[in-house]
Amino acid sequence: MKLSRIIQILDAKILCNVQGRLDSDIPMICGSDLMSDVLAFIKSGALLLTGLTTIQVVYTAENAGVNVVCFVRGKKPSKETVDLANEKKITLLTTNMSMFESCGKLYNNGLIGGSDYEN
């Protein structure tokens, strides 16, 4: 699914770095607040939904090959987090929906999680 469609479904606000990515395909979603789980299970190219806004989220995304992170429940990251995302060219979004609602809406629209995804 195109990132622009996901932004529409989540009614998400763009925080930074969306340039050149709106048309890119997001094959699956990972929702977690536990970065070790994200590192262990997320596939490259996935979108990460999380309630954490620390700079370690950006480092986690970078190391796991994740280009897009969306914060749930309307959370806004600190300036340090946004600056680091700019440096690492990670797209940051924020949605007012909760983690459960975000996952539910995206799943209903045909997106899948990492365990359904075959490379």
Q: List contacts with another protein (CB under 8 A).
A: 19-20, 23, 33-40, 44, 50, 52, 54-60, 62-65, 80, 88
Report the alpha-carbon distance of residue 100 to residue 107 in Å, rounded: 11
Nearer to another protein, 16 or 105 (CB): 16
User: Scanning the structure block, which residue is given the tokens 């629209």?
Assistant: 109
Residue 88, classed as helix, strand or coil, is helix
Residue 69, classed as helix, strand or coil, is strand
Nearer to another protein, 76 or 89 (CB): 89
Give the per-residue SS3 of 3-41: HHHHHHHHCCEEEECCCCCCCCECCEEEECCCHHHHHHH
Nearer to another protein, 52 or 111 (CB): 52
Nearer to another protein, 12 or 58 (CB): 58
CB of 58 to another protein, least distance (A): 8
Show the tokens assigned to 42.
């997320």
CB of 108 to another protein, least distance (A): 27
CB of 93 to another protein, least distance (A): 16
CB of 71 to another protein, least distance (A): 13
